[in-house]
Chain A
């Protein structure tokens, strides 16, 4: 199956189901080809990583439309910066860093933009929770309602497993701030979920 993915530059169609992840060598080959301006190879990288990048953007923004925009922006930025990727970290981690920057950049752009996102969030709340089931949905919705700073740290640390050092580096904050925000997030989640009868 993996051979199917690498057989030819144009053997992929959007409807194709990619069932097996490529090997590290295959991914490295796609990266090298993409660095040489092969958009087909970059599309393969996109297909491989889009769900996780979109998930991260969705968890961080809490808004599906914003997450789509951030995801697109992240991959475009990745393409532009691909020449600087040296493999010091996993490609996925590198992409996540760019995606976090895309999210933060959009949020910083203007207060009006933030107001717009908030308004959209109110219209379609808890977008991230649709991917979860059972009691996890309650948790996902509670995470969605966290203030931005606490939510960003919780998403990176609690959901995606990044260390405080990694999360603080991605978010451009001090490690101590990251820890404080996580503590705040946990306290707020406990309050929210306690009120909602989350199973203890």
Chain B
């Protein structure tokens, strides 16, 4: 490679546009996020760090152990969130997501309900701060789920949106499972 050519490339690179306007106004989406309770609280709590405090992180790590061998088996290993086509006439499925065209599987919904109940039980053992942190995190994920569902209502066959929704549900489930594990782990350490 010639030095002159290399120098020209670097000189030209410095001339490339640094400021590029997005095609749409991104502020409304940002503003909506800022005014969500979780983000508003986080901002009001400045200079609270963006990452979860140690106890919430520890909770997330420890809760993994928490009582969900069954849930782990059912939800993670054997029954990931599945998307089903609308139920045939005569079958009543709980309306959940995918803009009404798709339903979450019954097994997943049952597992989610169970994990939710377990998490709420475990949450009561946490300090108010830790509990708020977990609830904030869940609120963010659930807000995302709502937004994706709203988008899916417009584009029910959008595979990318379905994939995003799938991931969001998995994240929600992971948080709930982790919460349960944290407090149980703390209890074990206290026992010692």
Interface assignment of B92: CB less than 8 Å from any CB of chain A: no
Are A190 and B5 interface neighbours, CB within 8 A?
Answer: yes
* 15 additional A-B residue pairs with CB within 8 Å, beyond A64-B22, A83-B48, A128-B20: A37-B43, A37-B44, A39-B34, A46-B26, A50-B21, A50-B27, A58-B20, A64-B23, A81-B49, A82-B43, A82-B46, A84-B49, A116-B163, A158-B10, A159-B13
Give Cα A76–Cα B8 distance, bound, in whole angstroms. 38
Interface assignment of A94: CB less than 8 Å from any CB of chain B: no
CB distance from B65 to the nearest CB of A (A): 24
- Total contacting residues, chain B, CB less than 8 A: 44
Residue of B nearest to A56 (CB): B18
Can you list 16 A-B pairs with a CB-CB distance of less than 8 A? A39-B35, A50-B27, A51-B19, A54-B22, A56-B18, A71-B26, A83-B43, A84-B47, A110-B167, A131-B16, A131-B17, A159-B16, A161-B14, A186-B1, A186-B6, A200-B5
- Interface SS of chain B: helix
Given contacts A52-B19, A55-B19, A79-B39, contact A14 B25 (CB under 8 A): yes
B-binding residues in A (CB < 8 A): 14, 35, 37, 39, 42-43, 46-47, 50-52, 54-56, 58-59, 64, 67-68, 71-72, 75-77, 79-84, 110, 112, 116, 128, 131-132, 135-136, 139-140, 143, 154, 158-161, 186-187, 189-190, 193-194, 198-200
Interface assignment of B29: CB less than 8 Å from any CB of chain A: yes
How many pairs of residues, A versus B, come closer than 8 Å at their CB atoms? 125
Which of B14, B48, B50, B163 has the most chain A CB within a 10 Å cutoff?
B50
Interface assignment of B9: CB less than 8 Å from any CB of chain A: yes
Give Cα A39–Cα B106 distance, bound, in whole angstroms. 42
Are B16 and A72 interface neighbours, CB within 8 A?
Answer: no
Residue of A nearest to B33 (CB): A76
| Chain B residues closer than 8 Å to A14, beta-carbon distance | 25, 27
